[in-house]
Structure 1
């Protein structure tokens, strides 16, 4: 879809997308910006984040570097948004890690704690910060929250079991918070299968044709696919949709596959 055929559903709105210097986060940020939002990007490393910010039209995005699970970083992000824009309309929690690959029964517990800390508690912390920061007026603006889960949280996936556990928790967190925060704030999620990003490279590199064969859609996902879905779920077009996890998998799960 070309930019000329995309609407401006986010004109005058401010969106925050965590983990957005590349991959799915960047795909979402680009779609929201094209549709009119001013977008705040976060990422751990300052240099790649600055390079990403430079890809956007001047004045349409800002970048704030820091670790997603660092409370001081989160406070800086929210305070900066409040000072510069005085509002937040859309929060996308995209940060997720998977530092290990192998059987869950053998995972080091310190690694398991880190996965849960970043993927689950980090997601909750970002949402808490947005909702409770008075300067963001998130509730008054009928804020929309989108959290990235995974099909690995729906069906067990070999080698990434604890990651799947964390993403199942994210999906349940979405539903729980949607019930608690409605009717003022909507909360939804997206559960992608394999999307062609650096993060997912190990799942398809060197065997993409073999992996793709399990997908009825005939291809793997792209960051643009997830960006389009995210724009729908955070726009007024989905005002009657909350507490939902959209499975974006090219038909993989229905066909009996796993990520």
Structure 2
């Protein structure tokens, strides 16, 4: 983990679903390079603990449900009040409450998945656009998944929502150019509580399928998000960066 060295980048990021896991890893990376950050999440206590670890002098938190439009408004307003700007938005909040075939999926559950994973991302993007980015520029990073760019048996609703995130990235990149760059990251399995069911009790077996020999870490996605919100990526927009430990290299093998 890279630690904050005292440099102030002058930039501000809003990261949804960042009290732990991938979102927290992204927050770590952006704080380390000198950004000020607002993190969101559902659990206030978990958010407080995250702020303490990240540094309460540079990080604030707003608790709420990502799909709640009032929460979206409050979060963006709070960033603007605290820091006066919001250069970067990272849409990481997501849910995957069901495991099974799409043919038997409750449509109410499908709607919930899309509300949390896709509609909330659009809502946050609209608000950061009007609050700051429309007139001042910036970047948006949407956290998609390799489930959104390939078949994803038994987590089909999640995969569908992440495919929608990839297309949302394209649409926003087109509409918000040239001032705002919009890209996505599509991770494979990352070692988080969210993905625990995919590797718990069989991590070595799961990791063996990856050419790079291990599952992902939140810091892997943090590094990718740091790049996509940096000047080094200023000619990159509308792209989905697959961060998968090489797992796609095995497609069709066997």
TM-score class, shorter-chain normalisation, is over 0.9
Match of residue 222 from structure 2 = 227
User: Which residue is 1:18 aligned to?
Assistant: 16
SS at match of 1:15: strand
Aligned to 1:56: 54
Instruction: Between 240-249 and 150-159, report the one with greater CA deviation.
Output: 150-159
Aligned residues: 252
Runs of 4+ with deviation above 6 angstroms: none
Asked whether the equivalents of residues 88 and 141 of structure 1 are also in contact (C-alpha less than 8 Å), the reply is no
Residue 211 of structure 1 is matched in structure 2 by 206
Superposed CA RMSD in Å reads 1.6
Residue 36 (structure 2) aligns with? 38
Native 8 Å contact 1:17 1:94 kept in 2: yes
Q: Give the whole-Å Cα distance in 2 for the aligned partners of 1:229 and 1:154.
A: 18
Q: 1:184: which partner in 2? A: 179
* TM-score computed with the length of structure 2 as normaliser: 0.95
1:193 counterpart residue number: 188
In the alignment, structure 1 residue 119 sits paired with structure 2 residue 156: no
The alignment partner of 1:237 has SS state of helix
Shift of 1:228: 0.4
Structure 2 unaligned spans of 5+ = none
Q: In structure 2, the residue corresponding to 1:191 is in which secondary structure?
A: strand
SS in 1 for 2:238: coil
Q: Does 1:175 align with 2:177?
A: no
The Cα shift of 1:7 comes to 10
Q: Is 1:92 the counterpart of 2:70 in the alignment?
A: no
**TM-score, scaled to structure 1:** 0.94
Q: Cα offset for 1:159?
A: 1.4
Which residue, 146, 159, 164 being the options, matches 1:164?
A: 159
Q: CA deviation at 1:2?
A: 4.3
Aligned to 1:247: 242
**CA distance in structure 2 between the aligned counterparts of 1:2 and 1:67, rounded to whole angstroms:** 29
For residues 12 and 98 of structure 1, the distance between their equivalents in structure 2, rounded to whole angstroms, comes to 35
Structure 1 residue 254, shift from structure 2 partner: 2.3
Per-residue Cα deviation, 1:150-201 (whole angstroms, up to 9, x for no partner) = 0001111221111000000000110111011100100000000000000000
Extract unaligned runs of 5+ from structure 1: none
Q: Tell whether 2:142 aligns with 1:144.
A: no
Tell whether the 8 Å contact from 1:103 to 1:161 is kept in structure 2 after alignment.
Answer: yes
2-structure distance, mates of 1:7, 1:219: 32
